[in-house]
Amino acid sequence: KAAVITGGASGIGAATVARFVAEGCRVTIGDRDVERGEAVAELLGDDVRFVPTDVSIEQDVAELMATAIDDWGDVDIVFNNAGFGGALGPIAQTSVEDFDLTFDVLVKSVFLGMKHIADHMTERGSGSIINTGSIAAIDAGWSPHLYSAAKATVIQLSKTVAMELGDSGVRVNVVCPGAIATPLLVGKPDATDADLDAARTAFAPTVPIGRVGEPADLASMVLFLAGDES
């Protein structure tokens, strides 16, 4: 199979790229972090391509999907996963610009990622789209206002698109990670191993099994949802 994975330069996305390649899948990474994206692609070899992409820009996402279809012939799986923390702080101090940016990166990106693969998948009569939500989409108190609201929107948009595309054999699912040890949890893209360990320790008590999630845990879940058996 062939997949497009956004946010594949780091964290959950990078772990999913590696797992998919290990399972024999060809993967196109779309990420705005060119240095890290190219490094992941180089490490994993010929089955991975990197396309510099800002997922909040329609032209970028359209080109990402078109490039993947050109390179691999077909695209079976799209993992709309890129994200960031978005606007921080109290509601009274949140600017409209920060609102727009947060929803552009977390919601418009998922809309575009589905919009620009829907025809390709429905024409083939199969496909699996997986979008990244969050525990913050379901429970309040995990994250800032707009991140929570944006991720809740991702869930509902995925449900309505699943209803439209299901008849054509295309599935749409959302994964809602809890605390996962990635740079996003730490709050800096260049988080060190020590930073990640500190986050693991800090968040472990919030998880019933006593440890935070790891990117590889999510990769396993996404792999399951990508496969026909799911």
Chain positions contacting ligand NAD, by CB under 6 A: 7, 9-13, 31-33, 53-56, 81-84, 105, 132, 134, 177, 179-180, 182-185, 189
128 in catalytic set: no
Residue closer to ligand NAD, measured from CB, 129 or 185: 185
Residue 152 corresponds to which amino acid? A
Minimum distance of ligand NAD from residue 8's CB (angstroms): 7
DSSP secondary structure of 48-111: EEEEE--TTSHHHHHHHHHHHHHHHS---EEEE--------S-GGG--HHHHHHHHIIIIIHHH
DSSP secondary structure of 135-180: GGGTSTTSS-HHHHHHHHHHHHHHHHHHHHHHTTTEEEEEE---SB
151 in catalytic set: yes
Residue closer to ligand NAD, measured from CB, 74 or 195: 195
Q: What is the distance in angstroms between the CA of the first residue and the CA of the last residue of the chain?
A: 15
Residue 10 and residue 114: Cα distance in Å, rounded? 21
Residue 104 and residue 86: Cα distance in Å, rounded? 10
Kindly state the helix (H) or strand (E) to which residue 11 belongs, with its residue range.
Answer: helix 11-22
Residue closer to ligand NAD, measured from CB, 31 or 76: 31
Which of 134, 143, 148, 158 is flagged as catalytic? 134
Minimum distance of ligand NAD from residue 212's CB (angstroms): 8
Residue closer to ligand NAD, measured from CB, 184 or 221: 184
Minimum distance of ligand NAD from residue 124's CB (angstroms): 26
Which of 1, 10, 143, 151 is flagged as catalytic? 151
Minimum distance of ligand NAD from residue 192's CB (angstroms): 13
Residues forming the active site: 134, 147, 151
